[in-house]
Amino acid sequence: MANSAEALRKRFEEELVKFKQLEKDKEKSIANRQQLEGQLTENNMVKEEFDFLDEESVVYKLIGPVMVKQDLNEAKQNVAKRVEYISNEIKRLEETMKDTASKQEAQKEALMKM
C-alpha cells in the first residue's frame, strides 16, 4: 500500500513539473509577443512617417555608427517587409500560445484527477 502511494506521489510530482514547464513556456511566449508588438508599433510609425515624405526627400539608414543615404522607395519596401514579417511572427506565436494553453489545460485536468 505504501509503495502504491509513493508511486502516485512521484507521478504527481512529475506531472506537476510538466505543468510548471508549460507555465514558463506560456510566460516566455507572452514576453516575446509583447516585444513583437512593440516592434510592430515602431515600424508602423516609421511607415506612417514615410507617407508624409515626398519623392525628393532624403532618407538615411543607420548601419553601425554610420548614417548611409537610402532610396525612399527602398526604405518604404524594407519597412513594409518588416511589418509583414513581424505580423506573421505574431500570428505564429499566437498559435503556439493556443497550443500551449490547451496542453496546459490537459495537464491541469490530469493533475486534478490524481
Query: Which residue segment(s) compose the domain that 91 sits in?
Result: 2-113
**CATH number, domain with residue 93:** 1.10.287.370
Structural domains counted in the chain: 1
pTM: 0.80
CA–CA distance, 98 with 114 (Å, rounded to integer)? 25
| Structural contact between residues 98 and 92, judged by C-beta atoms closer than 8 angstroms | no
Residue carrying C-alpha cell 493533475:
111
Along the chain (114 residues), what's the average pLDDT of each consecutive run of 10 residues? 78 88 93 97 96 92 94 95 97 94 88 80
| Rounded distance between C-alpha atoms, residue 62 and residue 70, angstroms | 10
